[in-house]
Amino acid sequence: MQAYIIRRLLILIPTLLFASLIVFSVVRMIPGDVIDLMMSQNDIAADKKSREQLQAALGLDQPMLVQYLRWIGGIALQGDFGRSLWQNTPVTEQLAQRLPVTFELGLFALTIALLVAIPIGVYSAIRQDTAGDYVTRSISLLMLAVPSFWLGTMVMVFPSIWWGWSPQVKFVPFGEDPAQSLVQMAVPAVILGFALSAVTMRMTRTMMLEVLRQDYIRTAWAKGLDEKLVVLRHALRNALIPVVTLVGLQVPILIGGTVIMEQIFVIPGMGLLLLDAVSQRDYPIVTGVFMVVGLAVMLINLLVDLSYGVLDPKVRYR
Amino acid sequence: MAEPLLSVRGLSTSFRGEGGVVRAVDDVSFDVAAGETVAIVGESGSGKSVTALSVLRLIPEPPGRIEAKAVRFAGRDLGALDASGIQALRGNDIAMIFQEPMSSLNPALTVGMQVAEPLNRHRGMPWPEALAEATALLRKVQIADPDRRLASYPHQFSGGMRQRVMIAMALACRPKLIIADEPTTALDVTVQAQILELLKTLTRESGTALILITHDLGVVARYADRVCVMYAGRLVETGPARTIYETPRHPYTVGLMASIPRLDEEIGRRLVPIEGQPPDLSALPPGCAFRPRCPRAVARCERERPALEPIGPDHHKACWNDVRG
């Protein structure tokens, strides 16, 4: 198990290197140049710096390869993601500030998604083809069909028109006041969580139906167990194995979702940082965010793989 | 005669499917006395497994539908029990052993827990105590090193060992009756004998009655006290095992006997198969279901379905024809 984890972590290195190449080059392909943007800003233009001076100051006059090697070398050797082209602050500092916020929102949303999806999926399976099953399945289809950016916007707009209520805009970090922090994230987390729960719920239902047909479930009934024990002890664990895979695959979707929610609900997380940086062509920030997100997705995939060992005794890590 | 342990009267089980209603079990009645071994014999699809599952109401309803005039067990009317009543009986008074040891154990739970589970459920035994009892049960079914095996998972066991685990599980609460649904069909021939021998020894020791569902007449001859022969969902002949062997009276039973080799016969006899196919249960003809394959069919067989009638001491058959030998 330990050897397996170490091996998996070592594999991350070439994967991340490859990802860094793609990220670095794609970001520079965004049309529009950061220098043009800066030149159009009055205060910089007033400084009377020429394009060349500006480029040299930001290190953008170097050949691409040199720029890349400097950047990746900084990350690999010093954990330094460079400096923001606009604010001249270290990117690492920005990431350290924003990452916990996005992590909180993502984890909150995922928790809601699972708390909604698994019980309802199980219920829907054991009451297959009843009214309850149809209702929950229809709702899940609805959640799947409604885009979360639309729902988020509606939640921002309509309550404020009808009742003068709108979600709080002033941001409270988790470390400052955990309760208040969760309250302010509740609306976006619920919207995201429900959107994610739809697929998980349907998967849980399908797998439960499959497992409930198995011989060992009949054995469990033949032992005299009641429905609760048959479902929770004998069926659910076996049904969850593929559901865990699905949840792992949903993580990138979840991260994409947090970007949108952060924008709508003005939550200063990685998503908001990324959007601002992209519109300003602040390359070091964009690449920094991508690298962190990429690493997070890879680590979560590793966690998902490890969780199989907990759920399925046939899985052994060597 | 004392009241039998299990008495089934007029049991019918049908399934509603796309092709209409299929009567898998049709008006079946039989008794099992305490401590006795009754074999239910028949080819695939004759309704023997469904009969056994119906007694414990393990047929999902719908699509299944179980009807019976009376099912009595140890003086209680099983038909009058609600869901929790039948759950209290399953695994406690009547235990089951299934055909496929490979798929009948839960792959995600330890063997020890699965064996201990009935004790925890029915005796209210705390888990550590139930697991200690499970060790003793595993030893009883001759699993080597039971202390260590308790924490193993089913995939670490061979087929024969899994069936031993199933037997240990069935014996856990000292049931009065064990229903074994083709317990050896999925196993190697050498292992089959071991498992049946074990089952027979353990049930005899504890005075447990056994319903042995099988299509193997060799098994029947060796282990059963009484035999019920099923064809197309109905009983066609019942009687003491010896009588059925020596003087089968229904043409189907006669055919079955002719189709298997016997040790006590002259060498060189050719085995005689029963011609034709088992009938489609969703489209049974009005008369005797065996008529299309029966070498002795008469005109009456086509019109009227024969009922199970006594023809000797504890010997019944459902046939219009008076077959001898």
Interface predicted TM-score (ipTM) of this complex, two decimals: 0.88
* Alpha carbons A109 and A98: distance in angstroms, whole number: 17
Contact A314 B106 (CB under 8 A): no
Within 8 A of A222 by CB-CB distance, chain B residues are 56, 58, 90-91, 95-96, 98
Instruction: Lay out the sheet containing B226-231: strands in order across.
Output: B94-97, B177-181, B209-214, B37-41, B226-231, B234-240, B315-317, B309-312
CA distance B13 to chain A (A): 18
Q: How many CB atoms lie within 10 A of CB B111?
A: 26
Residues A165, A261 within the same domain: yes
Count each helix (H run) and each strand (E run) in chain A, helices first: 14, 0
When CB atoms are compared, the residue of B98, B106, B166 closest to A234 is B106
Nearest to B97 by CA among B236, B217, B224, B210: B210
Residue B295 region by backbone torsions, left for phi larger than 0, else alpha for psi between -120 and 50, else beta: alpha
If asked whether residues A56 and A109 sit together in one domain, one would say no
- Whether A215 and A303 share a structural domain: yes
Of A89, A112, A138, which residue sits at a domain end? A89
pLDDT tens-digit readout, B23-32: 888 888 889 9
- Is A151 contained in some domain? yes
Q: Which helix (H) or strand (E) holds A108?
A: helix A91-126
DSSP H or E run through B31 = strand B20-32
Query: CA of B131: how far to CAs of A15, A222, A235, in Å?
Result: 47, 19, 21
Q: Is A219 on the interface with B (CB under 8 A)?
A: yes
Are A84 and A129 found together in one domain?
Answer: no
CATH of the domain at A259: 1.10.3720.10
Exposure b/e, A110-144, CB count within 10 A at least 16 = b? bebbbebbbebbbbbbbeeeeeebeebbebbeebb
Paired tokens of A70: 């400097």
For chain B, count helices (H), then strands (E): 11, 13
Q: Measured at the alpha carbon of residue B223, what is the angle toward residues B201 and B215, in degrees to the nearest 5?
A: 130
Whole-angstrom distance, CA of residue B106 vs CA of residue A235: 9
- What percent of chain B has pLDDT above 90? 20
Give the residue on B whose Cα is nearest the Cα of A237: B108
The whole-angstrom separation of Cα A272 and Cα A262 is: 6
Residue B43 pLDDT > 70, yes or no? Answer: yes
Question: Between chains, do B121 and A229 touch, taking CB under 8 Å as contact?
Answer: yes
Residue among A223, A226, A238 whose CB faces B107 most closely: A238
CATH number assigned to the domain covering B1-36+63-81+96-224: 3.40.50.300
* Residues in contact with B201: Cβ distance below 8 Å, sequence separation at least 6, in sequence order: none
In this structure, the answer to whether residues A130 and A267 fall within a common structural domain is yes
Contacts of A111 (CB under 8 A, 6+ apart): A193
Asked if the peptide bond before residue B62 counts as cis, ω within 30 degrees of 0, the response is yes
Q: Which range has the worst mean pLDDT, A22-36, B40-54, B143-157?
A: A22-36
User: Could you give the CA distance from residue B163 to residue B178 in angstroms, rounded to a whole number?
Assistant: 14
Do residues B289 and B311 lie in contact, with contact meaning Cβ atoms separated by under 8 Å? no
Alpha-carbon distance A114 to A67, whole Å?
43
**Which residues in chain A have their CB less than 8 angstroms from residue B78's CB?**
none
Spatial distance between the Cα atoms of B279 and B236, rounded to a whole number of angstroms: 15
Q: Find the closest chain B residue to A314 by CA distance.
A: B155
A218 and B88 within 8 Å at the Cβ level: the answer is no
Q: Model confidence over B204-236: pLDDT tens digits? A: 888 899 999 988 887 888 888 999 999 888 888
Q: Is the pLDDT of residue B198 over 60?
A: yes
Nearest to B29 by CA among B40, B37, B19, B21: B40
CB contact under 8 A, A223 and B107: no
Q: Which of A62, A89, A116 is the last residue of a domain?
A: A89
Residue A318 within any structural domain of the chain: no
Same domain, A200 and A242: yes
Predicted confidence (pLDDT) per residue in B114-126, tens digit: 999 999 999 888 9
Please check whether residues A194 and A294 belong to one and the same domain: yes
pLDDT band at B158, cuts 50/70/90? confident
Rounded to a whole number of angstroms, the distance from the CA of B296 to the nearest CA of chain A is 41
A308 CB within 8 Å of a chain B CB: no
Interface of B with A in 171-190 (CB under 8 A): none
Give, as one character, the DSSP assignment of residue B9: E
- Examine residue A316 and state whether it is found in any structural domain, yes or no: no
Q: CB contact, 8 Å: A311 with chain B?
A: yes
CB contact under 8 A, B118 and A219: no
CA distance A216 to chain B (A): 4
Task: Please identify, among A29, A60, A89, the residue that sits at the C-terminal boundary of a domain.
Answer: A89
Count up the domains in chain A and report the number: 2
- Is there a contact between B153 and A225 if contact means CB atoms under 8 Å apart? no
Q: With an 8 Å Cβ cutoff, are A214 and B103 in contact?
A: yes
Count of alpha carbons within 13 angstroms of residue B68, beta-carbon side: 21
Q: Do A226 and B84 touch (CB under 8 A)?
A: yes
Same domain, A70 and A158: no
The reply to whether A224 touches chain B by the CB within 8 Å rule is yes
Residues of B with Cβ-Cβ distance to A211 under 8 angstroms? none
Assess whether A131 and A279 both reside in one domain.
yes
C-beta separation of B212 from B180 below 8 A: yes
**What distance in Å separates the CA atoms of residue B204 and residue B194, rounded to the nearest whole number?**
15
Residue A3: predicted pLDDT: 86
The residue of chain B with its CA nearest to that of A233 is: B109
Range of the domain at A267: 92-311
| Closest C-alpha among A279, A302, A297, A225 to residue A7 | A302
A263 lies in the same domain as A242: yes
Q: What is the phi/psi pair of residue A299, to 5°? A: -65, -40
- State the CB neighbour count (10 A cutoff) for residue A239: 26
Same-domain pairing of A97 and A82: no
Q: What is the mean pLDDT of residues B286-308?
A: 81
pLDDT of residue A168: 65
**Does A220 lie at the interface with B, CB-CB under 8 angstroms?**
yes
| Distance (Å, whole) CA A168 – CA B63 | 54
Q: Is B90 within 8 Å of A224 when comparing Cβ atoms?
A: yes
Whether B91 contacts chain A with CB within 8 A: yes
Q: Give me the pLDDT at residue B325, please.
A: 44
Instruction: Kindly determine whether residue B103 and residue A215, on different chains, have CB atoms separated by under 8 Å.
Output: yes
Contact list, A221 vs chain B (CB under 8 Å):
58, 90
The per-residue pLDDT for range B261-277, each reduced to its tens digit, is 777 767 777 777 787 78
Name the burial class of residue B80, with classes exposed (0-12), middle (13-18) and buried (19+) by CB atoms within 10 angstroms of its CB: exposed
CB A119, CB A139: distance < 8 Å: no
**Are β-strands B309-312 and B226-231 bridged in parallel, bridged antiparallel, or unpaired?**
unpaired
**In terms of domains, do A79 and A173 share one?**
no
Query: Within an 8 Å CB–CB cutoff, is residue A316 touching chain B?
Result: no
If one counts every other C-beta atom within 10 angstroms of the C-beta of residue B229, the result is 26
Q: For B69-115, what is each residue's pLDDT tens digit?
A: 888 888 888 888 888 888 999 989 999 999 888 899 999 899 999 99
- Helices B127-140 and B111-122 meet at what angle, rounded to 10? 120
A238 at the B interface (CB within 8 A)?
yes
Which residues of chain B lie closer than 8 angstroms to A311, CB-CB?
Answer: 108
CB-count exposure of residue B310 (10 Å: 0-12, 13-18, 19+):
exposed
Is the Cβ of A223 closer than 8 Å to some Cβ of chain B?
yes
> Which of B53, B93, B117, B149 to mutate against chain A (most A CBs within 10 Å)?
B117
pLDDT in tens, chain A (318 residues): 788 889 989 999 999 999 999 988 888 888 777 777 777 776 665 566 677 777 777 777 788 888 888 888 888 888 788 888 878 888 888 888 888 889 999 999 999 999 999 999 999 999 888 899 999 889 888 888 888 888 888 888 888 888 877 766 677 777 778 888 888 888 889 999 988 898 899 999 999 999 999 999 999 999 989 899 999 999 998 999 889 888 888 888 898 899 898 888 888 888 889 988 888 888 888 998 999 999 988 998 898 888 888 888 888 777
Retrieve residue B222's tokens.
């060796």
Q: Who among A221, A224, A311 is closest to B108 (CB)?
A: A311
- On whether the CB atoms of residues A258 and A192 are closer than 8 A, the answer is yes
Separation of alpha carbons A214 and A220, rounded Å: 10
Mean pLDDT across chain B: 86
Contact A74, A92 (CB under 8 A): no
CA distance A253 to B22: 48
Q: Residue B161 is which amino acid?
A: M
